[in-house]
Amino acid sequence: MAIDWSAGRGRFTANGKSLEWGAFGPAPGDAPVIVLLHEGLGSLALWRDFPQRLSDATGLPVFAYSRAGYGQSDADDLPRPLDYMTREATQVLPDVLNALGASHVILMGHSDGATIAAEYAGRVEDFRVRGLVLMAPHFFTEEMGLTEIARAAQVFAETDMGARLGKYHRDPEATFRGWNDAWLAPGFKDWHVGDVIDYWRIPCLAIQGVQDQYGTAAHIHEIETRSYAPVDVLMLDDCRHSPHFDQPQAVLDGVAEFAARLQRIEAAEVEGV
């Protein structure tokens, strides 16, 4: 089912699952649509007012959805395999973009969502994708990140975290376990997908908080050293794992500048044809 942008919200099917979606800003036209991919415990609702603020700042349409197992979308198949982000990129995201029907998109992901966007750009040849915005991406595991994820499991077991997640997810227990159990599986310590960066042929804006509790700047350095395409880096102080909440204006300004530059480059290339 194709997305009816004028409806504002709805559901569509991707890889056999019914997913919720939301549209913000002007209807898609010649300008790219920013497609938001949420973090490992995120959802459409948990972006809060950021999608609308992003559309206001860039002047672009913004599209967000909840992956299977999140928000009000269909349940996912658990336990997730260790390559679940690769599968999300190669088996689900193509259906999402086809349903959206936009001719140009910018993929903007946070945490797991950033990795999914990065994997899509490196594994799927799709000329609709004109740029990447990656907030707190991860390409491999780090001990400090795994320690923080293990701590989250303890917090979930001992506090009302499940009830709080229940405000945003249909099945908060499954949502949490789907993410947490995958990252803490013994085999996940050897997970590494940095090679996908070698195949990017589109510009990237990489954003990370200096105080990110889940990952170090090593992931940003991985992008800088491996990408053949242009890379802009935005390292934000007084910022942890969620730059769009900890430093929203800096993120909005950075993405607006990046998107405007992409559009100027494309316009110049068209004129030069």
The pLDDT assigned to 267 comes to 82
Report the b/e string of 244-263 with b at 16+ CB within 10 A: bebbbebbbebbbebbeebb
DSSP helix/strand/coil, 233: strand
| 245's tokens | 């909440």
Look-up of token digits 């400090």: 144
Look-up of token digits 């959802």: 43
Question: Residue 226 pLDDT > 50, yes or no?
Answer: yes
Whether residue 79 contacts residue 201, with contact meaning beta carbons closer than 8 Å, is answered with: no
Whether residue 242 contacts residue 110, with contact meaning beta carbons closer than 8 Å, is answered with: yes
At 21, is the pLDDT very low, low, confident or very high (cuts 50, 70, 90)?
Answer: very high
Whether residue 193 contacts residue 116, with contact meaning beta carbons closer than 8 Å, is answered with: no
Give the whole-angstrom CA distance, residue 130 versus residue 95.
Answer: 18
The pLDDT assigned to 153 comes to 96
Domains of the chain: 5-139+193-272 (3.40.50.1820)
DSSP helix/strand/coil, 19: strand
The pLDDT assigned to 247 comes to 98
CA angle 110, 43, 52 (to 5 degrees): 75
The pLDDT assigned to 127 comes to 96
Q: Tens digits of per-residue pLDDT, 30-86?
A: 899 999 999 999 999 999 999 999 999 999 999 999 999 999 999 999 999 999 999
**C-alpha distance across the termini of the chain, in Å:** 35
DSSP helix/strand/coil, 83: coil
Q: Which of 160-174, 175-189, 256-270 has the lowest mean pLDDT?
A: 256-270
Handedness of CA 8, 260, 136, 194 (dihedral sign): positive
Whether residue 64 contacts residue 92, with contact meaning beta carbons closer than 8 Å, is answered with: no
Which positions ≥6 away from 215 have C-beta within 8 Å? 136, 138, 142, 144, 145, 208, 241
CA 14 to chain centre: 16
At 272, is the pLDDT very low, low, confident or very high (cuts 50, 70, 90)?
Answer: low
Whether residue 61 contacts residue 31, with contact meaning beta carbons closer than 8 Å, is answered with: yes
Nearest to 235 by CA among 248, 217, 252: 217
